[in-house]
Amino acid sequence: MKRIREASLVFFQGLIEFIVYLPLIFAANGLVQPAAWEQWWWFVLLLSYPAGYLLGVRAAFRQPSVTLLLAVLCGTGIGALLLSVASIGTAIATALGCMVGLYRGARAALAPWPVRFTSAHFSIGLLIYVIFSVIMQRNERFAVSSFLLTAGGLSTMLAMLLVVNLRTVRAESAASGSVARTDAAVRNRNIRLTLLVVLATLLLAASGTLRQWFRTVWGQASEWISRLLAPGEPSPAAPPQSEPAAPPPSMLPAGEPPDPSPWWDWIMYGFMGVVGLFILIAVIRRLPLVPSLLRALIARLALWLRRERIADRADYQDEVDRIAEPKRKRRSLFRLGSRPEAKSVADDPSARLVFLYRTWLSERTKSGQPFEPSRTPIEMGQAEAIRSGEETGGDFGVRLTRAYSAYRYGGIEAQDGELARMTGEIRPKKPKK
């Protein structure tokens, strides 16, 4: 039962690859040109995936060259058997389909399901769709397949967006045990981006149909306006001209143009040589300064785009890039009001906890302790407890870092009483004289 389920997953993998690389299948079909009723080699290609998987599980070949050789031998044998009952084009197409399906299915036995598909597979498939769509639009033989190309391209785009979206959410999520907790802003941003790209893809896919529809509507509207402005019988068509119109007289002087002076050519050659020599000298003299000039240009572009590069600091850095404030865009657009009022964290337990943790971390750094961003908050609290021994500061650091880690990675908020006690203990001690 387990093998049947895994073979079904491999068949589903073959179906996905069939959709992603559909233009290549159309190209192979156009090259070998099988008969119209002999398109069943596509099903042979799909069925070769689970067959290759079962063969790879039984044989357990670790080298891809051995698997490729076995797939070529099996595909060639099946193609040779079909020569007696089908055309040579169908035999070649079936042999190629068996080779590809057996090889990909056998290699799937060595790779887990999450790593069989990446965003690179769908990106390459999307590029193939774009290239082959441009080529096939100029060939009338592939006009029947335009709908399949559009549907396959949209499916590839949606699959790529799904894979990229899932990996982005996993990378930006804070894991709590085995459950990933995704921030609402990250989820909403990914949903909006996905909808925007899907809408743009649909508009691009339907651009030809929309353009033809607008051209038809405009032609009918122009004809209706012409009939409305010029009622009555249509004017008779102009009789065709029996003789072409005489060309206009030439404005050039009569006779052959005089040849330019060879001395003028030599003067121009010398002038261009001197200019080229000066340019070459200037380039050679400025060649050592090219990296610095590029860095200056990049810095200028970053300044124009308001994305200045911030060097790494040795002290604590706030991980909040931009705090969302209401009416920020309207205030920046119309310049309404003065400076925004400072927000109080007294009514928000989570904000108070974050404020306490950052205050403790800054005081710890100012007291001379090294700032180690590679450590987790709990590890820094334990290190502070070991350094302080049985003092209150070490116990406070452990309690604060545990409460902050529970909120940051588990979503558990601290109690008001515990926050009040930690607020009273956050004041730094006076140094002993």
**Residues making up the chain, counted from first to last:** 433
**Using one digit for the tens of pLDDT, what is the confidence trace for 154-183?**
788 777 777 777 776 666 555 545 555 566
Residue 181, helix vs strand vs coil:
strand
Report the C-alpha gap between 45 and 95 in whole angstroms.
Answer: 9
Q: What is the pLDDT of residue 312?
A: 44
128 bridge partner residues? none
Category of 275 on φ-ψ map: left (φ > 0), alpha (ψ -120 to 50) or beta: alpha
Residues 6+ apart with CB under 8 A from 194: 161, 165
Q: DSSP for 74-95, please give it.
A: HHHHHHHHHTTTS-HHHHHHHH
Structure tokens at 222: 């122009």
Report the C-alpha gap between 356 and 378 in whole angstroms.
Answer: 15
Which of 63, 60, 98 minimizes the C-alpha distance to 78? 98
Only one residue has tokens 């055309």, namely: 87
pLDDT: is 50 or 109 the higher one?
Answer: 50
| φ, ψ for residue 299, nearest 5 deg | -65, -40
Give the side-chain half-sphere CA count within 13 A for 98. Answer: 22
Whether 74 and 106 have beta carbons less than 8 Å apart is answered as: no
**Using one digit for the tens of pLDDT, what is the confidence trace for 211-269?**
677 778 888 877 887 777 765 555 555 566 666 777 777 776 676 666 666 777 788 88
Q: DSSP for 84-126, please give it.
A: TTS-HHHHHHHHHHHHHHHHHHHHHTTS-GGGT--HHHHHHHH
Structure tokens at 38: 């002999």
Only one residue has tokens 């050679």, namely: 284
Domain boundaries, the chain: 1-114, 117-174+183-211, 349-425
Ranked by mean pLDDT, the top range of 37-41, 118-122, 306-310 is 118-122
Whether 165 and 194 have beta carbons less than 8 Å apart is answered as: yes
| φ, ψ for residue 111, nearest 5 deg | -120, 135
Average of per-residue pLDDT across 20-31: 78
Please state whether the predicted TM-score (pTM) of the whole model is above 0.85.
no
